[in-house]
Structure 1
């Protein structure tokens, strides 16, 4: 059977690749795995799962399939309905559920959707557990009957409970700040404005009218222009851009300049370090982090540990070392004191709190990182599993030698899409673009599909 799970659960074109049939089979297999492993609270008559989704229209189909699969396998299910991914993770832990399920394709376009499973405690499943689920797909088994099938019921006030948790992490109100938040017409359309207003900010809301079709469409963290314009037009102190499931955020300063995940991570690292709360003075990031971020962290006397791309690998390193802060340039920021996964609203609240505490604007705080010009080229129509091609490897090595330590090159197959990413950092935009284009041509030539 081909591999089903990618770097962030199962993701693809809804009703074509991610079908109701697949959702049903996956949820049955996941239930069987937690039962076989004994990952169920002994005090319970049956295992308990929570299921949440983003508002894209296909989520309704997949939610019903997932719930049916879990209940048919003897699992009780609480339906959270539309709630951010980190909200599902929080409630998985808070309700001591044996399994959490998120139905979302995050920042992907509306036609896509995905399914992600969370272990007890709200953590993403290990690769080994996902492999076990894949092995059980489609296999026969003795399904429970009669009174042994699971019960399904809606869970009341999931958004309010999640927001209460977010507010409990703050030390001071955000009074005096005017903030524009772009909810990407996604899962945070209710939670983000609620949290920011309850924290004391004056809030302008855009991108918060989800209709099932407009998620991530010309808005949110993948398209900052509307937020940049709104921040300037309203004279706001900052703008917050979330993605469709709100597990990441980017920001905009008062002049409309973008503030990326590296800069947000640096702001939070300095904040935690000054408070004496940054474990081993270490931040976990990925190899995609800008070289300027690494230089800024090291200049502050702190350390960076870099992992493979993907917030799951950041989380693994954080858990292994007991670190409390990690993240990605894309805006996934994990504050493990308060969350088990990336949380865009949590990130925003703490960055805004840093502004209040220091009296500095976001532009000043973000300036600690001087970003090297970076170009990212997505090369489609190629075999992403052959990036170890020797001719391509030599081309990369030659470009790195020419940069002579003043930049870097990274080739990475996407974990969620059929493409290879060519990332180049260099002293100038022109140099970065030229190197990236040359390497993209080599990727197309060497990795072309038959």
Structure 2
């Protein structure tokens, strides 16, 4: 059955519309709280958020929902998504909630849910919560209403956790690092962690005002970071997204290093150290064929999951892998956490730079990517991919790419977009195939 509220990464939408109204957000708190009420212990939910203006409203609405069904609430304020996952598990909470729309602009917001083990909820859990959203609410008796409190040391706990993943024998002394926090959730914790490990830190995107999250900064706008890296003559630049579960790196020359190259670095480093498990890594269908070819030279495999870091993680757990991620920069290292963590991933990359002594442009450039092009077509309603003309165009272009490339078309799980991606050895054919399919989709939307 199709899900009505949950997408590939929780519930997301335009603030004060649809599922993102205060009334609906409160119901999400009630439904999720009721789903996780089990056993005789006092139940607890931990709530974090990023820096967008609507986070205050949603935090209070969720708190009202959870407390009304009998759950205690712990609020930690602006914190990265991976910090919420880590704190949920370490504080023995029954549920963790991150209020964020990730890399989206401030007008959007969303709700990401974590179970008591710190992992994102399964499809079954999300389906059960959706069913409760459509039904009546059972409120707690007056004496059983939950309490809410805010804790002040969450930032220090997460910084300590992040630093503990960095090799104890190494330091970042002498490394000049530009850190772009996208005016988002990591605006305090990321610079502090890097400084405590000895780096010379140049900060960017650390002045949130409720409106500027992801606005021209962060992992989706690496040009801003690249300019600052070259201006400051830094060794490397690190860009996080609004909730800091995504990482993009810029080398000392200003060139962008995406998630595929970073996964190649982590795979090679782990393989050499004997710590890589599963015989390879897990990526998504979007990852470049060049990554796959590079891993083959190391005797490693690339397992491909559906788009979405939750699906990458599911495949990692099923296959015993400990490294995986997405081209977009969601990087998951299960030795260090239960979800993508931009800061922790950045520290592993910096460790490679320190250990090799090589400039980022060399150490982080492991393979030559196949020409790849991704374009989005926005639509208002309907199912464009079911149109006969669109299907015929897709089949025709798949035939042209057969043997030396591939075509991938999918509907976005978070926005009303059709994503059209092609890659192959012939850049001109790749572009022609993408344009042909996009034209067919536009004709029906």
TM-score interval (norm. to shorter):
over 0.9
- Structure 1 unaligned spans of 5+: none
Match of 1:4 in 2: 5
1:135 to 112, 115, 131: 131
SS of the residue 1:288 aligns to: coil
Per-residue deviation, 1:428:
4.5
Match of 1:112 in 2: 108
Higher alpha-carbon deviation: 221-230 or 367-376:
367-376
Match of 1:174 in 2: 172
Structure 1 Cα separation of the partners of residues 295 and 395 of structure 2? 27
Higher alpha-carbon deviation: 423-432 or 220-229:
423-432
Structure 2 Cα separation of the partners of residues 310 and 160 of structure 1? 29
Alpha-carbon RMSD across the aligned residues, in angstroms, is 1.5
Higher alpha-carbon deviation: 296-305 or 76-85:
296-305
Cα deviation, 1:244-271, whole Å, max 9, x if unaligned, reads: 0000010000000000000011101111
Asked if 1:89 corresponds to 2:85, the answer is: yes
SS of the residue 2:219 aligns to: helix
Per-residue deviation, 1:430:
3.4
Structure 2 Cα separation of the partners of residues 414 and 135 of structure 1? 23
- Compared CA separation, residues 394 and 342, structure 1 to 2 (3 A): same
Cα deviation, 1:342-361, whole Å, max 9, x if unaligned, reads: 00001101001011111122
Match of 1:123 in 2: 119
Cα deviation, 1:81-122, whole Å, max 9, x if unaligned, reads: 100101101101111110000100000011000011110111
- Compared CA separation, residues 122 and 384, structure 1 to 2 (3 A): farther
Per-residue deviation, 1:435:
1.5
Structure 2 Cα separation of the partners of residues 405 and 195 of structure 1? 47
Structure 2 Cα separation of the partners of residues 253 and 382 of structure 1? 39
SS of the residue 1:65 aligns to: helix
Cα deviation, 1:386-410, whole Å, max 9, x if unaligned, reads: 5254543342232222224222110
Q: Any conservation in 2 of the 1:384–1:414 contact (CA below 8 Å)? A: no
Q: Any conservation in 2 of the 1:382–1:444 contact (CA below 8 Å)? A: no
Higher alpha-carbon deviation: 258-267 or 192-201:
192-201
Match of 1:67 in 2: 63
- Compared CA separation, residues 383 and 295, structure 1 to 2 (3 A): farther
SS of the residue 1:239 aligns to: strand
SS of the residue 2:443 aligns to: helix
- Structure 2 unaligned spans of 5+: none
SS of the residue 1:236 aligns to: coil
1:341 to 332, 339, 342: 339
Q: Any conservation in 2 of the 1:181–1:205 contact (CA below 8 Å)? A: yes
| Alignment size in residue pairs | 441
Per-residue deviation, 1:384:
6.8
SS of the residue 2:70 aligns to: coil
2:318 to 317, 320, 341: 320
Match of 1:419 in 2: 417
Match of 1:48 in 2: 44
Match of 2:35 in 1: 33
Q: Any conservation in 2 of the 1:384–1:418 contact (CA below 8 Å)? A: no
SS of the residue 1:424 aligns to: strand
SS of the residue 2:282 aligns to: strand
SS of the residue 2:302 aligns to: strand
TM-score by length of structure 2 reads 0.96
